[in-house]
Amino acid sequence: MRKPALCLISLALVMSVTACSRSPRSSFYTLVPQAAPPALSPAAPSVSVGPVTIPELVDRPQIVVRVAENRVEVLESHRWAEPLKSEIPRLMAQDLGRMLGSSRVSSYGQSAGADATYRVLVDIVRLEAVPGDTATVQALWTVRRGNARIKGESLVREKVSAPSYDQLISACSRALAGVSSDIAKAIRADAAALP
């Protein structure tokens, strides 16, 4: 008689502990273009963005934040809605299209960019998010037009306006837009110098 009663009590305890230990609800985030919608120009260049490489540290579904000089935290319940290696090139293409006033800007892998005048390759060497403080993007980039190459480096820091993950991701979007702005300046300067 004691064994069945003990088993039932044990089962009830396990079920109550399991019910209380549900995993927290995940939040999903996306990067958002920052440039104003374009006034399209028929003379605007065609551009293909990508490939874009990102550090393996942040190439994961979870958002990674820096909590100390030598320590990061992988946030299991705060995740990217899609992989950064596909979202960042698309975001940069949207920002560049708006900055250049061109409807002919696409990200790597889209067939629309096969005959683009300019190809943009980006190596993001640092993508760092510090909650309540800053988002930092450091990138090396190359703009190709035929055999011509323009190389550049961007280091953009954006303040986080409030201690929330929504604001942290917004700062990341602004920092990436800063890199796109540097690239857009290089493309405009090169296009203006063409005969």
Q: What digits encode the pLDDT tens for the residues 57-94?
A: 999 999 999 999 999 999 999 999 999 999 999 999 99
Please say if the pLDDT value at position 21 is more than 70: no
Task: Identify the H or E element spanning 14.
Answer: helix 2-20
In what side-by-side order are the strands of the sheet with 134-145?
105-107, 47-53, 118-130, 134-145, 148-159
Q: Give Cβ neighbours of residue 144 (< 8 Å, ≥ 6 apart).
A: 118, 119, 120, 121, 150
Please say if the pLDDT value at position 14 is more than 60: no
pLDDT digits (tens, 9 = 90+) for 137-191: 999 999 999 999 999 999 999 999 888 999 999 999 999 999 999 999 999 999 9
Identify which of 134, 179, 137 has the alpha carbon closest to the alpha carbon of residue 161.
134
Q: Please name the fold of domain 50-193.
A: Rossmann fold (3.40.50)
Identify which of 141, 85, 148 has the alpha carbon closest to the alpha carbon of residue 117.
148
How far apart CA 123 and CA 144 sit, in angstroms, is: 14
Question: What does the block give as tokens for 134?
Answer: 């800053």
Higher pLDDT, 21 or 99: 99
- Percent composition of the chain: helix, strand, coil (DSSP 3-state, to 5): 35, 35, 30
Mean of the pLDDT values across residues 21-45? 83
How far apart CA 51 and CA 160 sit, in angstroms, is: 28
Domain boundaries, the chain: 50-193
Residue matched to tokens 């820091």? 157
Q: Give Cβ neighbours of residue 41 (< 8 Å, ≥ 6 apart).
A: 101, 102
Residue 101 and residue 41 in contact, taking contact as beta carbons nearer than 8 Å: yes
pLDDT digits (tens, 9 = 90+) for 96-126: 999 999 999 999 765 555 689 999 999 999 9
